[in-house]
Amino acid sequence: MDWQSPALTRALDRWLEEDLGRGDLTAPALQGKQGEAHWVAKQPGRFCGGPLVKQLFERLDPGVSVRLLRQDGEPVEAGDCLLELQGPATALVAGERTALNLAMRLSGIATATAELVAQLQGTGVRLADTRKTTPGLRLLEKYAVRCGGGINHRMGLDDAAMLKENHIAWAGGITAAIAAVRAQAPWPTAVIVEAETEAQATEAVQAGANGVLLDEFTPEQLKALVPRLRDCSTRGVVLEASGIQPEQLQVYAATGIDLISTSAPVTRSRWLDLSMRFT
């Protein structure tokens, strides 16, 4: 993650401006004062967002120093101290809410991801995210998934070609859709086909798809289908299952698939409760 990227710098400025508006009206009460503070985890989970917090406070006021005590992705317990801050009291107060909001959101995603990844321990099956992300926060939310032990699927529509029901219908079939993408893609790209039936999955593999997303198949169906798809693949296709409830992860992992994709860590996670305490 490039914490110094121009895109992230612009985003930090927007987020700070959103809260600061025309200026913090409490600033005169703190003018000229130096302060110290630290962050505490109020519940167990996975911490995420430390470098972002550091960048945000330093962007707000170069006089603020942030010392990270926990690394992103590291498990924390309630009461653990996560980072320490020193600097102008006006800056510490002004940046507190924005920094906490971001870190609690990202830590919640990392925590939820880690809980699901733990269920797949030892199976060889990886947990992947989706494009169901908050607009403007995709890079950070996907980073949080990685901090929780998951992997990123597509970052965007230009990252890989995923052919779904509408693409297949409008292109005149799976084979035609894959051929069109292969012929006109401006750079080498993986082609993934979302299959809802065994016939679609088989056609996708035979037409040279790099991956097949097996949507809404039962574990029993996958146990029978996966070996057949492996047998008819000449290039080592990646088989992915989706539409799976969290409590079914282990059952699906035993079917021989490579990936389980889910939006749950991003769309269903709760913020991890963190607190900034002044000393």
Residues tagged active-site: 97, 132, 164, 194, 215
CA-closest candidate to residue 130, choices 118, 119, 116, 141:
141
How many residues does this entry show for the chain? 279
Q: Is the dihedral of CA 209, 178, 249, 251 positive or negative?
A: negative
Query: H helices within the chain, ranges in order?
Result: 6-20, 50-60, 89-119, 138-147, 165-171, 174-184, 198-206, 219-231, 249-253, 264-267
The secondary structure element, H or E, covering residue 186 is none
Helices (H) and strands (E) in the chain, counts: 10, 12
C-alpha distance from residue 177 to each of 167, 186, 274 (Å)? 7, 16, 48
- Strand order, beta sheet including 211-215: 126-128, 259-261, 238-242, 211-215, 191-195, 161-163
Amino acid (one-letter) located at 1: M
DSSP code of residue 91: H
| 232: number of Cβ within 10 Å | 12
Closest CA to 197 of 209, 212, 183, 214: 214
Residue 265 burial (CB count, 10 A): 26
The token pair at 33 is 């004062």
